[in-house]
Structure formats: structure tokens, C-alpha cells
């Protein structure tokens, strides 16, 4: 990923927060000389190491879990807020017209070695946490324990756990830092008017 210094984010806690808020990741791996991409939620555990540990699961029949399930290097991509930015939001457009459209986004790349888990207790603990994270704000949260135990056991037999000890984290927050204060303010207001609160907040925060 190309990372101009102006857009580079290096704080693990900031990148972990994005990974937590946007857990549905693209997992890129290589097998048989070919690149593969899987899409799955990954739970970040920042308490387990400086860069964090990612845990998830795939279907047992997924080719990712084939080939003897040997450890392999992978890249997990977490996409945060992203939005098209129109030049019409820039006050400088009316002054000289030397503006073009762009795209604002925040993204994290996590590199590490992928390992697999077939242990029932590991998988049950992972599924319980994954579910709890996504159900906790609902009026009546569903829990894995709500389902019959024998049914859960059958479901667990059809999946394989995946774990990535993250060795390298890279982040890119391209959120109008290259525009002057007036243009950034124009982007903020434009985004708010179109329902882009998350990106508007990032433009404001990173423009200080």
C-alpha cells in the first residue's frame, strides 16, 4: 500500500479501533502459486500482543483450510469509512477552479502468519465472543448458549478456526489532510449534508 507520510497512521490503538469497528475483513493468502481472497469477520485481540491477534473461522470445506492446514503468510485488510469527495465542496473551486475529485478513506493492513484451530473449546470461545460483540447493543441479545448444545456441536464440526498473530500493521487515513482549512471545512459540511458523519468526523480530527 502506498503511504505518503501525510496520510500514514502508525498508532496501533487507532488501527485496532478501526479493526474493531469494521471487523469484516478481506483475507489475502497464496496457495498453489495463486492468490486467494476470503471475506470474513475477524475479532481483534489487542491485549494479546503489541500489534494484536486476529481470530476468525471459515467453513471446513474452504480451500483456505486445505493443503494440510499448514501455517502461511497472509494479509488481512480492514476497510473503514470511505467516500467520494466532490470539488464542489471546496471554496477554492470558486476562486481558481484548479481542483479535482478524490476519494477519502481509512484502511488498515495486518500482516502475519495464519494458523488453524480445530479444537472445540477454542472454536466455542471464539464464536461466543464474536456473537457477543455483535449482539451486545441489541434489546434482547442472542447468545450461542441459547441454541441446543448438540446443535452447536454439529455446527462447530463444520468450521475451522483461524488465528493471525499480527507481525506488521500499516494504516492509511486519507481524509483531506492535503487541503487547506477552508477546503477541509467545506468537505466536513458537504459530508454531513449527505449523511457522511463518520468521514466528516475524521476530516475534522485529522485536520487539526
* pLDDT value, residue 96: 84
Look up the pTM and report it. Answer: 0.93
pLDDT tens digit string along 55-81? 999 999 998 887 667 778 999 999 999
pLDDT tens digit string along 90-146? 998 777 877 899 999 999 999 999 999 999 999 999 999 999 999 999 999 999 999
* pLDDT value, residue 26: 98
Residue 131's CB is within 10 A of a number of other CB atoms, namely 16
Give the percent of the chain with pLDDT over 90.
87
Those residues whose C-beta lies under 8 Å from the C-beta of residue 41, and which sit 6 or more positions away, are 23, 24, 25, 56, 130
Name all domains of the chain by residue range, CATH numbers in brackets: 5-82+104-175 (2.30.110.10)
* pLDDT value, residue 196: 92
Contacts 24+ apart (CB under 8 A), 125-133: 126/43, 126/55, 126/56, 126/57, 126/161, 127/57, 127/156, 129/43, 130/41, 130/43, 130/56, 133/23, 133/43
Residue 175's SS3 state is: coil
* Distance from the Cα of residue 189 to its chain's centroid: 26
Does pLDDT of 199 surpass 70?
yes
Does pLDDT of 30 surpass 90?
no
The C-alpha R_g of the chain, in whole angstroms, comes to 20
Amino acid at each position: 500500500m502506498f503511504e505518503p507520510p501525510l496520510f500514514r497512521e502508525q498508532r496501533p490503538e487507532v488501527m485496532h479501533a478501526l479493526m474493531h469497528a469494521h471487523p469484516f475483513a478481506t483475507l489475502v493468502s497464496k496457495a498453489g502459486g495463486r492468490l486467494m481472497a476470503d471475506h470474513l469477520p475477524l475479532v481483534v485481540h489487542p491485549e494479546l500482543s503489541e500489534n494484536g491477534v486476529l481470530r476468525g473461522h471459515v467453513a471446513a470445506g474452504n480451500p483456505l483450510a486445505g493443503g494440510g492446514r499448514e501455517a502461511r503468510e497472509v494479509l488481512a485488510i480492514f476497510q473503514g469509512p470511505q467516500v467520494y469527495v466532490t470539488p464542489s465542496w471546496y471554496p477554492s473551486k470558486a476562486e481558481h477552479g484548479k481542483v479535482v475529485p478524490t476519494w477519502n478513506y481509512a484502511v488498515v493492513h495486518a500482516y502475519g502468519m495464519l494458523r488453524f484451530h480445530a479444537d472445540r473449546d477454542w472454536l466455542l470461545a471464539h464464536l461466543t465472543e464474536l456473537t457477543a460483540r455483535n449482539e451486545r447493543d441489541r434489546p434482547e441479545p442472542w447468545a450461542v448458549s441459547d441454541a441446543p448444545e448438540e446443535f452447536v456441536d454439529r455446527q462447530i464440526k463444520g468450521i475451522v478456526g483461524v488465528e493471525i498473530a499480527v507481525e506488521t500493521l500499516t494504516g492509511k487515513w486519507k481524509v483531506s489532510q492535503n487541503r487547506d482549512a477552508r477546503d477541509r471545512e467545506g468537505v466536513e459540511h458537504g459530508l454531513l449534508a449527505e449523511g457522511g458523519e463518520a468521514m466528516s468526523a475524521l476530516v475534522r480530527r485529522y485536520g487539526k
